[in-house]
Every structure is written in structure tokens, then in C-alpha cells.
Amino acid sequence: MSKENTETENGESSVTTEEISEKRIGCAHYKRRAKFVTPCCNKLYMCRYCHDEKEEHYFNRKSVTELICTECDTRQKVQAKCIKCGVTFGKYTCLICNLFDDEDKKQYHCDGCGICRVGGRDRFFHCERCNMCLPVQLQEVGHRCVENVSRANCPVCLEDIHTSRIPCHIPDCGHLLHRPCFEQMLRSGHYACPTCQTSMIDMTNLWNYLDSEVAATPMPPEYANYKTTILCKDCHKLSTVKFHVVGLKCQHCGGYNTCQTNGFHKDSGTSDQCETSTPSSSRSGSSSSQPDTTEQRDENDTTDTREEHDTTDTHGPDLPRANPLDEPPQA
């Protein structure tokens, strides 16, 4: 039907048959020329997402053994072309995943992941330990491996990550979460990984702001000499710092992403230096009825200082860190 024959009385042109047929190819998720015969319920669906939206159970497309050509309605086994009319079911065809798609999304099948991904094989590599595809930039600068990290659900929406069509954000800590969930967390004022509480973005500007707030907000005299032991969630080191209601600054990385490991205590006033230490109950747990002498306190201070330096030396070098990038979604 030509466009000249489709004009109406008011001069408007109707949609051509070519445009109608083009719109009817596939569904909202894929453009293809075949329908699956689902073995779970023996019904016809264009894809697994169409099935899952209408049924109360999930459908594994790898279990499909038969399909129907949408051009000639011929029922046949799963293959790339129709045995009757010869039409190709999809420009991209993967008979391992039973995936057919006419849209060019730079799809490729990853044997390690066991699924088809989008984005181009040359842009990603498969990490055996993480058991997922990662951008090649992370292969050059290094990344923090978390074993089988993509097999866990998103910690925000609790939906599957490995087979998700939604891109996943990869923070420096290596844990995954959907990019929309990550952006929603930032809009809500949450900047720490929901799995390990490590900062997911560069927090330098906020730490500088808190430095100025601490300097402008002195503690009352009765609390000015109190100290507490903290654990930094970014560098994972212990520090003994002066207590402040605004925040407790890590003495190693300078961040405020910290938490107290015990209560605060009043400083003796002999030294304002903050050293790395571990929580100890021996200093306040003495059962002796006689008061401590000056020599005993000096010995205790020397022992504590020696233990503190030993603890500091046990920390190994940090693992290589990389800028956050996205994992390729499933095709």
C-alpha cells in the first residue's frame, strides 16, 4: 500500500503497512520474529519478561525447546531461521541462551557468566574470582575482587544482579548495586556502601567542611579532655581521638566515616597526642586495693605505646582501588 492511497479526506496520512509490521515485530523488551512455547505452562510468549509479568512463576528461557515463527506460524524446534519461510528470527542469535534480537546492542555471549551481555566484547573482560564481566579499564588500573559478587542480590532493592538488564554500579569496595539504586541513595544523602559501609564516592569536600565545623564548635570545658577509640570504615584502622559531637576524625586517612569501639574516657592531660591503639580493659580492670605508683603508670604507658606500635605495623598495604564503573547488563 503506497502512501498516496492512505491519505484521508482531511489530508492526513495513515500509517503504512510497513510501519505497522515493523511495530508488531517482537515486544516491548525485544524485537524478534518468534514466540517461545514455554514448557512450564505450555503457552506462547514473546520473551521471558512478558511471561513473568503475566504469570505467577518464573520462566527460564534456556529450557525452551520449541518456538513459533511470527511470519508463517510454523511450530518448530529452536533454531536461527524458520524452516518454512526462511526468515531470521533475530539479527543477533545465541542458541545457548535462546536469545533473538533485531536491535544492535553490541551483544556478546560470555562463557564465564553463562549469559549474553550488551556493550561490546572489546569493552569488557571476565574476572574469574569476581565471576562477572568488568570494564577493561579496571583490568589496567586494578580492582578489588569480591568472590562471586554478582551472584548476590542488590542490597537496596533486593533484586537479582547477575541476570538483571539494569546496569550495576561498582564502587571502590567491589560490592555491587543497581545504578538507579546508587543514584537514589546519593539523592537521599547516603554515601556509604550498604554492604560494608565504605564511602562510595570522594568525600574530601565533606571532610573539609566537617574540619571547619569541629574547629568552630569547641567542646564544653567538662568534655574538652575526653578521648575515645574509633574504627574507620574506609581504611579499617583504629585511632584514639578527642571526643567531639560533630564527628570523630580518623587519624590515618582523615575521614569522618568512623564509629566508636568503646566508651570515651577522660585524658590524663599529660599528652594530647593521638596514637593508634586497640581496645583494652586491663588499664581500668585492676582489682588491687593499693593505689598505683608513678612508676607503675609509666610502665603501663610504655607497654601500651609498644602494643600500639605493634598493632600499627601489622596492617598490610591497601589493595588497588579504581574509579567506579558499571558492569554490563544482561542482553
- pLDDT number for residue 331: 65
- pLDDT number for residue 138: 87
Question: What does the mean pLDDT of the chain come to?
Answer: 78
Residue 240's nearest CA partner among 269, 278, 270 is 278
Residue 132's nearest CA partner among 166, 92, 98, 168 is 168
Strand partners, 115: 110
pTM of the complete model: 0.65
pLDDT band at residue 268, thresholds of 50, 70 and 90? low
Higher-scoring residue by pLDDT: 273, 72:
72
- pLDDT number for residue 22: 45
87 has pLDDT over 80: yes
- pLDDT number for residue 142: 82
- pLDDT number for residue 210: 94
Higher-scoring residue by pLDDT: 117, 279:
117
Distance (Å, whole) CA 227 – CA 166:
46
23 has pLDDT over 90: no
C-alpha cell at 155: 542490597
24 has pLDDT over 70: no
pLDDT band at residue 144, thresholds of 50, 70 and 90? confident
316 has pLDDT over 70: no
Q: Collect all residues with Cβ–Cβ distance below 8 Å to 150 and sequence separation of at least 6.
A: 113, 130, 131, 132, 161, 162, 168, 176, 327
Mind listing the domains of the chain with CATH numbers?
A: 34-104 (no CATH), 109-188 (3.30.40), 203-266 (2.20.28.10)
- pLDDT number for residue 266: 78
C-alpha cell at 97: 541462551
Give percent of the chain above pLDDT 90.
48
Q: Which amino acid is at 301?
A: D
Q: Collect all residues with Cβ–Cβ distance below 8 Å to 314 and sequence separation of at least 6.
A: none
Sign of the four-CA dihedral 185, 188, 194, 197? positive
Q: How many distinct helices (H) and strands (E) make up the chain?
A: 6, 17
